[in-house]
Chain A
Amino acid sequence: MIDLSHLRADFPILHQQVNGQPLVYFDNAASSQKPRAVIDSLVHYYENDNANVHRGLHALSNRATDAFELARDKVARFIGAGSPDELIFTRGTTESINLVANIWASEFLKPGDIILYTGMEHHSNLVPWQLAAQKSGASVKHIPVLEDGTLDLENIDALLTEQVKLFTCVHVSNSLGTINPVKELCTKCRVLGINTLIDGAQAVGHMSVNVQDIGCDFYVFSGHKMCAPTGIGGLYGRAEVLAKMPPWHGGGEMINLVTLETSTYKAAPARFEAGTPDIAGVIGLGAAIDYLETIGIDRIHEHGAALTRYAMQRLTELPGIRILGPTTADRGSLTAFHLACAHPHDLVEFANTHGLALRGGHHCTQPLMKRFQIPGSSRASFYFYNTSTEIDRMMEILHRAVTFFS
């Protein structure tokens, strides 16, 4: 296992006690912590360059605009977009999906059409499509999940009928850790003329992502899960598809010409970014990418996979444990499990009193919990600043929990 423990010094928040014990933060899939460099970038912006973007002709506005657009270039390059114009800033994964489910859907969905998603989607990649289907008269279908936590793709060709207009799928499952074969699926869909959206909330910043290589039409992610501030994220849209989409919110910045009767609109990305954006958030997202790139995204992925392998191997020590998700080596940096002796909420409560932050519950994937016939699960999710020593500590706490609750 590579040693990245020196990076812990970059994260002020990690050096604290919780309930009298050293904090072990294993809830990174919900939100990651922020390095000093990202926090400093926000302070620097507000102390030196704060002004509205794209509007002023003065020095501060120019600096803010430059920093803002520089960050767009960085993010676009980081996810392999063909051009920065294909990268729209949003509040995050949820908002990005809702944009597509409203605007793409309003243009392209008709009664009788089908939206195909999977049984392991986050609620934020289910509910917007259900709403879109209700509005348009389309319907939703799903690809089932197999017992091992992978997608049941045996009948995929039969599922991709002519009625299917959009296929969407999570890149890395936040509840199972499964890495889905998104490239293979998007390639199939492209041939059939089906638009695709990939939910990359758990992938970007954890593994190398190249949207052009994947071949999707849309790719969505959240900054806060990859060291950036909360409230900022992105929507990649393939230029050709974005060009066919009408505006979303109306307002400043997205227009060319406004009269009292009618208006004309800019092209993407401005067309989808009405109003003053989260400038500081965008700059923070750029700083997060700079930071991640100094470590190297492949090393981050390798370390996360190694920690997860180690955790999954050690978890089997616990009596009555059921570990969810694939046991293959290549998986997301998280592991979810269910202990026969303790409900996830009791286990997470127990862990918390020992300074260990786990997540317990349905993880916004209720259909998946139903599929596996469990009320919820406990989840340990890792990032590059976590260590195998922390996993040992988790195991010590979990062993005690088993004794306590059995």
Chain B
Amino acid sequence: MPLSEDLKELYQKVILDHSRSPRNQGQFSADSCVHIHSDNPSCGDEIDLYIRFNEDGSISDIKFEGQGCAISQASASMMTEKVKGIPRQEVLQLIQDLQHTVLGNGEVRSSGTLGELQLLEGIQKFPQRIKCALLGWRGLERALYSAKLT
């Protein structure tokens, strides 16, 4: 009974490591950040993002809290490591690329910049887990747009 290759691809070592010890856990005081809550009611997964923006709209700092499956929590953890300090436009591009990677559709315009996130590719074979992988990213997208308005 060998472990299936698909399973090993879904739960890469790096992904399991992020899910066991998520990076950038916690929150900032409410008045110093944008707080966005995302959930998947059907499975109960939750991500709360706390984001501080620079004047130019880039992310100066980001933390998250959440509960849910390894995929949703690891993906959010990897996201927080990736997006700090990157120009807003690039983060939006990254969100697009990540979606394409997970869904296995469309073109990844800057695959070189995905780095570790490329590992989430394994999710393509598990369509019911796509919403887990994207949970934190959907929240980030909303935060970027709401931050622009303020």
A362: CB under 8 A from chain B? yes
Contact B69 A343, beta carbon cutoff 8 Å: yes
B150: CB under 8 A from chain A? no
Q: A345-B43, A349-B126, A349-B129 are in contact. Are A405 and B1 (CB under 8 A)?
A: no
B 35-62 binary contact with A (CB < 8 Å = 1; else 0): 0000000111100000000000000000
Contact A346 B11, beta carbon cutoff 8 Å: yes
A 388-406 binary contact with B (CB < 8 Å = 1; else 0): 0000000011001000110
**B-side contacts of A376, CB under 8 Å:** 43-44
Contact A346 B71, beta carbon cutoff 8 Å: yes
Contact B6 A343, beta carbon cutoff 8 Å: no
Contact A405 B16, beta carbon cutoff 8 Å: yes
A345 to B, closest residue via Cβ: B69
**B-side contacts of A353, CB under 8 Å:** 3-4, 6-7
Contact A21 B68, beta carbon cutoff 8 Å: no
**B-side contacts of A362, CB under 8 Å:** 44
Q: How far apart sit A404 and B42, CA to CA, in the bound complex (Å)?
A: 26
A275: CB under 8 A from chain B? no
Q: How far apart sit A366 and B44, CA to CA, in the bound complex (Å)?
A: 9
Q: How far apart sit A244 and B4, CA to CA, in the bound complex (Å)?
A: 60
Tally inter-chain residue pairs, CB-CB below 8 A: 50
Q: A21-B1, A343-B69 are in contact. Are A349 and B10 (CB under 8 A)?
A: yes
- Chain A nearest CB from B131 CB (Å) reads 11
- State which size class the interface on B falls in: 20 to 34
Q: How far apart sit A346 and B1, CA to CA, in the bound complex (Å)?
A: 19
Q: How far apart sit A21 and B3, CA to CA, in the bound complex (Å)?
A: 11
Contact B7 A405, beta carbon cutoff 8 Å: no
Residues 16 to 50 of chain B near chain A (Cβ within 8 Å): 16, 42-45
A272: CB under 8 A from chain B? no
Residues 5 to 40 of chain A near chain B (Cβ within 8 Å): 19-21
A354: CB under 8 A from chain B? yes
Q: How far apart sit A405 and B8, CA to CA, in the bound complex (Å)?
A: 11
**A-side contacts of B113, CB under 8 Å:** none
B44 to A, closest residue via Cβ: A375
A99: CB under 8 A from chain B? no
B70: CB under 8 A from chain A? yes
Contact of A361 among B6, B10, B44 (CB under 8 A): B44
A236: CB under 8 A from chain B? no
B132: CB under 8 A from chain A? yes
- Chain B nearest CB from A280 CB (Å) reads 31
Contact A342 B1, beta carbon cutoff 8 Å: no
Q: A354-B1, A375-B68 are in contact. Are A345 and B7 (CB under 8 A)?
A: no
Q: How far apart sit A405 and B7, CA to CA, in the bound complex (Å)?
A: 12
A20 to B, closest residue via Cβ: B4
**B-side contacts of A400, CB under 8 Å:** 1, 3
Residues 156 to 199 of chain A near chain B (Cβ within 8 Å): none
Q: How far apart sit A290 and B140, CA to CA, in the bound complex (Å)?
A: 57
- Chain B nearest CB from A30 CB (Å) reads 15
B146: CB under 8 A from chain A? no
- Chain A nearest CB from B5 CB (Å) reads 10
Contact A369 B70, beta carbon cutoff 8 Å: no
Other A-B contacts than A345-B68, A346-B69, A346-B71, 17 sampled, CB-CB below 8 A, are A21-B1, A343-B70, A344-B69, A345-B69, A346-B70, A350-B7, A353-B3, A361-B43, A361-B44, A369-B44, A375-B44, A375-B45, A396-B1, A400-B1, A400-B3, A405-B11, A405-B16
Report which B residues bind A (CB closer than 8 A). Answer: 1, 3-4, 6-7, 10-11, 16, 42-45, 67-71, 126, 129, 132
